[in-house]
A and B are shown apart, each in its own frame.
Chain A
Amino acid sequence: MPGFQLDYLKVILIGVLAGTATRINLLRIDYRQYPGYPHGYLAHAALGFIASALGAVAVPAIAKPDYVAVTFLALAAQQFREIRNIERRTLESLEKTELVKRGMDYIEGIARTFEARNYLVMGTSFVTALAAHLSGLPAAGVTAFLALLASRYFMSGGVIGDICDVVPARLNFEYAILKVNEIGIINIGLKSMREKILRDGLAVMIKPRDGNARATVHDIGQRMAIAFTASVILGTKKDIDIAEFTPIARKNPDTGEVGLYIMPVEKDIEKLIAAVKLTPVLESARSKPLNAVSNVKAVEEKVV
């Protein structure tokens, strides 16, 4: 055995420390990415602590060697799946009283992300503990840092700004139909409402850069997520008896562009564009029809 061998307790401690630090770091990204998400710092930090403990303990278990002990990782996976259910249930019950809905797709995306975070934490603490066990403290430090960078990279995910151009658009009425540029949004009956919407409303056009992006913003869940994020960041004038002020995103069926209309508390078009660009691309909405084209062609040749 090499001379720098740390005892198991220290190895575990280092792993746990690295894992928990990663979770807390990721939490900061979480709240930036999901601004409408209800806060539960302590719960998530505690779960991150447990996850990192599980990851770190695996190293002495293998080194000892007590391979059977590693099966408790399976138990951990079960535990974290439960986190997804808890997240989903919480958000679903909040959804009922939400004036601007998140939408099921968004909820599912958030729940899945929060589950995945714990696996990342577990991985971080595992590799850190492994490095500490094999080559001592400095190596553990470097590994923890690299793992942190890697998890940040993997978990930041895509945002709408990566795949679409977002430009200011004009609200106008064609008789009673409210339009964002040429896209019809909704029929507004009351004249007083029309005037107010023209005065206080904001609109942007979301222009997909390619076919994949078009398929993504075609997804209703994705559009709800965009409207939700925008109304969280800018505020919304909507209330239970003013359905007219619901933020709505509708697409132009011919071009696939999406027009978003919102009645913000803060009328700031730059902020609205930033909010739309910041909206995460939902995993359930992310599709890549363009990548299938070559396959489709091959099959086509066979069929015809």
Chain B
Amino acid sequence: MNGMPSGTILAVITLQMEKVSGGAPIFFARDEEEQEKIALYLSKILDAMVHDLENGTYVVVRH
């Protein structure tokens, strides 16, 4: 759609700071509730989908 190739990780939302680093923007959340909220907002903003890696980390990916 807008430029980005599909399958790109656009953002990472995590509860565990020590588990993530790297290229995509990273958002730290205090608790699960905040994490859900940030993920939902980001998915709406970016027209992308939220996936759960089940280690306290969500990724927002455009398909």
Contact = CB atoms under 8 A, between A and B. Distances in A.
A189 B52 CA distance: 4
Interface in A171-185: 175-176
B50 interface: yes
Contacts of B58: 189
Nearest to A190: B50
Contacts of A175: 52, 54
Max chain B C-beta neighbours (<10 A), residue from A175, A187, A188, A190: A190
Nearest to A187: B51
Contacts of B43: 190, 241
Interface in B10-63: 36, 39-40, 43-44, 47-52, 54, 58-59, 63
Nearest to B40: A190
Interface string A242-286: 011010000000000000000000000000000000000000000
A189 B58 CA distance: 7
A192 B39 CA distance: 11
A191 B63 contact: no
A241 B48 CA distance: 6
Contacts of B44: 241
A192 B36 contact: yes
A240 interface: yes
Contacts of A241: 43-44, 47
A193 B58 CA distance: 14
B14 to A, nearest CB: 12
Interface residues of A, number: 14
What secondary structure prevails in chain B residues at the interface with A? mixed
A172 to B, nearest CB: 16
Nearest to A244: B49
B39 A189 contact: yes
Contacts of A243: 47-49, 63
B48 A189 contact: no
B48 A192 contact: no
A177 B21 CA distance: 24
Contacts of B36: 190-192
A241 B39 CA distance: 13
B52 A188 contact: yes
Contacts of A188: 50-52
B47 A240 contact: yes
Contacts of A240: 1, 47
Contacts of A191: 36
Interface in A217-251: 240-241, 243-244, 246
Contacts of B1: 240
A187 B52 contact: yes
Contacts of A176: 51-52, 54
B51 A189 contact: yes
B39 to A, nearest CB: 6
Given A176-B54, A187-B51, A243-B63, 19 more contacts: A176-B51, A187-B52, A188-B50, A188-B51, A189-B39, A189-B51, A189-B52, A189-B59, A190-B36, A190-B39, A190-B40, A190-B50, A191-B36, A192-B36, A241-B43, A241-B44, A241-B47, A243-B48, A244-B49
Give the 6 A-B residue pairs with the shortest CB-CB distance, closest first. Answer: A189-B50, A176-B52, A189-B52, A243-B49, A187-B51, A189-B51
29 contacts: A175-B52, A175-B54, A176-B51, A176-B52, A176-B54, A187-B51, A188-B51, A188-B52, A189-B39, A189-B49, A189-B50, A189-B51, A189-B58, A189-B59, A190-B36, A190-B39, A190-B40, A190-B43, A190-B50, A192-B40, A193-B50, A240-B1, A241-B44, A241-B47, A243-B48, A243-B49, A243-B63, A244-B49, A246-B63
